[in-house]
Structure 1
């Protein structure tokens, strides 16, 4: 491992790490890998990110290889395109976060939200394939959903599931639109607009496919009081 071998001067051409973010906000900086070269991501991994967990999101296989060259034991979930270092998440504190994926096709984004919340120190449960095409499936999960401090609902297509869930529980819902769907879903725009127009109160909406943002918001909502 070459952690700490790269100084800030060597990153100055492409990155300035916010090492004080954890002290300032209580949550560390994350590295969004898409648009960065593997060499740049590897240099950031080597430099370290100050206190707290280092998260690398939207990481390709090439990005992951560059991170693990510097942090060989980093956790990597290829499905979620996410890496974390140290590999073990912190001991969970605060309330329970439940992440719901409407369909299997939404699982990639849902797992990004789940892992983000977990590595930010929350206990997380994942519920998969309970979309509105079969309402009995989500109704069967009500005991778990009603134990949650906050529920993240990832859905594409018509984006109806967050409003359904919010009408059944007392906890806030973080609606996570995905780019799953046929042509008129417009790459996630249709579910995004449906979620923004949710009939049930207590629904907050993040951007399309933004599993990291949904997981981070859920972690903050479920933080110890």
Structure 2
């Protein structure tokens, strides 16, 4: 239940269209729903503006189906991340209105309409696109309009300069890069908007599976750069979409 639905329910009680007992029945699991293997935070949409997101990778298909069914029953948007193809197949079969995005490994079933601003998702290379798509689809699920700016890494910095204005027009940017992670600082120095840096595990030996990019981004001298964990496209997209809600002036 989101704020709009709660307001509508209380208005119906006030107008006598819904009894107090009926309202209590709808509100009895407002804080959470106990499923046995999971305690679903059904209050998050009301206090946060977006429902609980499901991490699919460590859960069984049966557990995911149960959690998603509980969200659907409550008319809440569904977002399942890090989802393997076999589990996705089971979800799509049960909930055909949802869509699985294999590159991002995300299942999304939209219910209601979230609203946010404009988010740019920028990658250093093509190898960073899976993490970038996780960020982009997450931001879109939160209602953001996403502008994808892919393969503009510092090895050919002129590619980034050509598209600087597109990024500047957005309210926040997610910059996804592996190797040495320099792109986040480059973008941060070129635009006057918040930059959410996401290091990826793309790179050779001394990249240490993303640690070199992580350290570069954490130590960025661009003061508008904040850094997520390695390969955390979901976190980057979510945070950027939240920033974009304010639609702050650049």
Which residue number corresponds to residue 147 of structure 2? 125
Mapped to 2, the partners of 1:189 and 1:25 lie a distance apart of 31
Mapped to 1, the partners of 2:204 and 2:61 lie a distance apart of 32
Pairing 1:174–2:196 present: yes
Which residue number corresponds to residue 4 of structure 1? none
Pairing 1:60–2:84 present: yes
**Contact map agreement 2:173 2:193 (CA 8 A) in 1:** yes
**Contact map agreement 2:177 2:213 (CA 8 A) in 1:** yes
Question: For 1:6-155, what aligned pairs fall within 5 Å after superposition?
Answer: 11-12=35-36, 14-48=37-71, 50=74, 52-86=76-110, 90=113, 93-155=115-177
Mapped to 2, the partners of 1:117 and 1:187 lie a distance apart of 25
RMSD after superposition: 1.6
The alpha carbon displacement at 1:194 in A equals 0.4
Mapped to 1, the partners of 2:181 and 2:199 lie a distance apart of 7
The alpha carbon displacement at 1:90 in A equals 3.5
Tell me which protein shows more helix as a share of its residues.
2
Mapped to 2, the partners of 1:71 and 1:224 lie a distance apart of 33
Which residue number corresponds to residue 19 of structure 2? none
Equivalent residue of 2:241, what SS?
A: helix
**Contact map agreement 1:96 1:122 (CA 8 A) in 2:** yes
Q: TM-score, normalised by structure 2?
A: 0.82
**Contact map agreement 1:97 1:150 (CA 8 A) in 2:** yes
Which residue number corresponds to residue 182 of structure 2? 160
Task: Please give the per-residue CA displacement for 1:33-78, whole angstroms capped at 9, x wherever unaligned.
Answer: 1111112112212222645421000000012012113211211100
Mapped to 2, the partners of 1:166 and 1:51 lie a distance apart of 38
Higher radius of gyration, 1 or 2: 2
Which residue number corresponds to residue 201 of structure 1? 223
Query: Structure 2 unaligned runs (5+)?
Result: 1-32
Aligned pair count reads 214
Task: Please give the per-residue CA displacement for 1:122-157, whole angstroms capped at 9, x wherever unaligned.
Answer: 111111111110001000101101101111000000
Moved over 4 A (4+): none
Mapped to 1, the partners of 2:117 and 2:83 lie a distance apart of 28
Query: Structure 1 unaligned runs (5+)?
Result: 1-7
